[in-house]
Structure 1
Amino acid sequence: MQRFRATDPEQVAHTWQAFAPSARLLDVDEERCQLDWFSATVEGFSLIRYELSASVDSSVAPESQLFTCSVQAPRGEVTAGQRSLPAGRPWASHGAPVTAHWEDRAIVQALVFDRDYAQRLARQISGDDNLSIQVRSPEARGPHEAAQWERTYSYVASSVLSGDATLDPDTVVGAGLLRHTLWTVLSSFSTSFSQTMERTPQRSAAPATVRRALAYIDAHAHEAITVDDVARAAHISTRGLQYAFRRSLDFTPSEYLRRVRLAGAHGDLRRADTPARIATIARRWGFTNTSRFTAAYRAQYGVHPGR
């Protein structure tokens, strides 16, 4: 995690290019330049928020990235090609140039995936091994999808800033956050992924596939696995696995994984020699919201987790 303030336009440009190599700050008013920067990065993904006070012209053409961003500026404009994008709304690009101009002050928020990383995960989720991530249109699909992107950004940023969560993909919480964030990004915009997901899912799963998935969850729930990892272990796409569970069981793969993790947290709480912090054990098993964990625990076991 990185946080700092700066007034040097060269430092501002250098910092932005470290996260968006194609970015160019074409013109910055040196007299009024003031940057307040926050970012969190893991391999394949960055979350960025900066507030820049200055008159600015900038551009980005992120060919190796899946780049989604919002620019909130009372006196500003974002354009893709010859068209102006809705003010304050998130936009997306996988290489097409996008330019921004603002006077006085802007708040910029971005969720940026390495394109190869996003494509590997999207192929596993969709079951389409030939899927190539393409952004069909830079605008969010609608007001609901734009709000969905904003909510996800705010949730991930606040969770990381507060220390309630980590983006580390080797942790249960981090792996889940990254998957959720990518899903939001890919479904909030018109992309090749959203079109693929509208097709009929893989339907060839046998009961043996479900048994493999259940066994894998039982053995690995304490690790940083997601439903995509379960599907991979069961030799089927994520969509196919979800269909198989619906056909064979009365719960989804995600629900079973959550149930097993809740049982794991229950065991840790019961085995603790000294009173353990509920939040610590909850996070260990992938529950970032203590109040929701407590409610789920009480519903399952009939008592407060602290008892």
Structure 2
Amino acid sequence: MGRVEETWRQFVPTAQLQRAEPRDFRFDWASATLPGLSVVRYELAAGVTSTVAPSGQLLACRVSGGGARVGTGEKSLAPDTAWITDGRPITAHWDGPATVQALIFDRDGAQRAARQISGDDRLELTVHDAAALDAASGELWNRTFDYLLGALSSAASSDALVFAALQRHALNVTLTAFPTNFRDAMELSPQTRAAPAAVRRALAFIDENAHRPITIDDVALAVHMSTRGLQRAFQRALGTTPRDALRRARLAGARRDLIRTADPVAVIARRWGFSHPSRFAAYFRAEYGVLPGATARPDA
């Protein structure tokens, strides 16, 4: 059991296994790490009581199977459902084979991203309650976790564009699936002043940096606007979104590579941040009227 606790503490230093009865002991571990985010899934067949009280971290987790019981000390949480803590101790107990799924965010990094997305520079990221907002929100978090771990497990280490998008998506889902003050900030009125000059600067930034792992948050930061303010400005000025503009710029880059190089279509798609070949093909056809294979060099 010492190996289990040691491994878990690499990701959550405050984690403690207070009791472990080996019985039919089994331990299977899978994890992936991005800057500011760790994705962990492990299966442990044993009688366990575990406590976490993360410091400097935002931890969203789910313990399922094994008769798992989870609580904050003040109340019990519904079994087999996702929960979150920004420091409040959470204790889990299970008696048989159980699966633990966790997203572990660096708290400072998550707060910076939350401020940028919401446009509230004074936001002090806070969790109001441990339980997910409702069953649908908890299930959304579960599906996001499964997708994230699968995508990270199959992605190449050089897929920086994909990683940046995955990380932003994971944080967005986590901060909205649970009762946090990020949700409160997002319900405030967004910036409504049209800013065509800012839109032009944003488009120039996108064109110059589409090959890099930028997100729409980075675009907004580059033109000194909140993400929601930039979205509103794009909608008013262009009738589109910054995300659509970034996608089109990356499609244009992929098209250039298809014409100029002999690299396989799938390699070029991933280079430009498209992790799903079928989705890339659909976007490409919608933009250019043909499939990527029709554009690629004959020797590709």
TM-score range for the pair, normalised by the shorter chain length: over 0.9
Distance in 1, Cα, partners of 2:258 & 2:201: 28
Which stretches in structure 2 are left out of the alignment for 5+ residues?
295-300
Aligned partners of 1:165 and 1:173 also within 8 Å: no
Shift of 1:205: 4.5
2:287 and 2:198 map into 1 onto residues whose CA distance is: 27
Percent identity for Structure 1 against Structure 2: 50
* Residue 244 (structure 2) aligned to one of 239, 255, 258: 255
- Select the residue among 100, 105, 108 that pairs with 1:108: 100
Task: Answer whether contact 2:22 2:45 (CA < 8 A) is retained.
Answer: no
Aligned to 2:227: 238
Task: Tell me, in whole angstroms, the C-alpha distance in 1 between the residues paired with 2:57 and 2:78.
Answer: 22
Does residue 190 of the first structure (1) align with residue 179 of the second (2)? Answer: yes
| Residue among 268, 274, 277 paired with 2:264 | 277
Query: What is aligned with 1:229?
Result: 218
Cα deviation 1:170-217 (Å, max 9, x = unaligned): 811111111111101101101010110000012234211111111111
Q: CA 1:165–1:93 in structure 2 vs 1: closer, same or farther (change >3 Å)?
A: farther
Return the TM-score normalized by structure 1.
0.93
* 195, 201, 204: which one aligns with 1:215: 204
Output the amino acid matched with 1:278.
V
Whether 1:132 aligns to 2:132 is: no
Counterpart among 271, 277, 282 of residue 290 in structure 1: 277
Secondary structure at the aligned position of 1:16 is classed as helix
CA contact (8 A) 1:205 1:236 kept: no
User: In structure 2, what residue type is equivalent to 1:293?
Assistant: F
CA distance in structure 1 between the partners assigned to 2:223 and 2:26 by the alignment: 52
Matches of 2:286 and 2:190 in 1, distance apart? 33
Aligned equivalent of 1:4: none
How many Å apart are 1:165 and its aligned residue?
Answer: 5.7
Q: Deviations over 1:134-165 (max 9, x none)?
A: 1101111112211111111111111122x236
2:20 matches 1:10: no
Q: Which amino acid aligns with 1:257?
A: L
Letter of the structure 2 residue corresponding to residue 55 of structure 1: G
Partner of 1:89: 81
Kept in 2: contact 1:37–1:51 (CA 8 A): yes
Distance 2:190 2:238 in 1: 17
Secondary structure of 1:223's counterpart equals: coil
Q: Any idea what the Cα deviations from partners look like across 1:69-105, whole Å, max 9, x if unmatched?
A: 0000141211112311111111000011110000111
Distance in 1, matches of 2:189 and 2:260, equals 46
Report the TM-score when normalising by structure 2: 0.95
Aligned residues: 294
Distance in 2, matches of 1:190 and 1:104, equals 30
CA separation of 1:267 and 1:232: change in aligned 2, threshold 3 A: same
Matched residue, 1:164: 155
Query: Superposition pairs for residues 14-163 of structure 1, below 5 Å?
Result: 14-161=6-153, 163=154
Instruction: Give the C-alpha shift of residue 32 in structure 1.
Output: 3.4
Q: Report if the CA contact (8 A) 2:44-2:99 is conserved.
A: yes
Q: Is the 8 A contact 2:83 2:131 kept in 1?
A: yes
Question: 2:169 aligned to 159, 171, 180, which one?
Answer: 180
Q: Deviations over 1:36-83 (max 9, x none)?
A: 011111231100000000000011111311100000014121111231
Q: Residue 299 of structure 1 corresponds to which residue in structure 2?
A: 286
Q: What's the offset of the Cα at 1:31?
A: 4.3
RMSD (Å), alpha carbons: 1.4
| Shift in Å, 1:127 | 0.9
Query: Is contact 2:43-2:99 (8 Å) kept?
Result: yes
Partners of 1:77 and 1:101 within 8 A in 2: yes
SS of the residue aligned with 2:130?
strand
> Separation in 1 of the partners of 2:156 and 2:132?
27
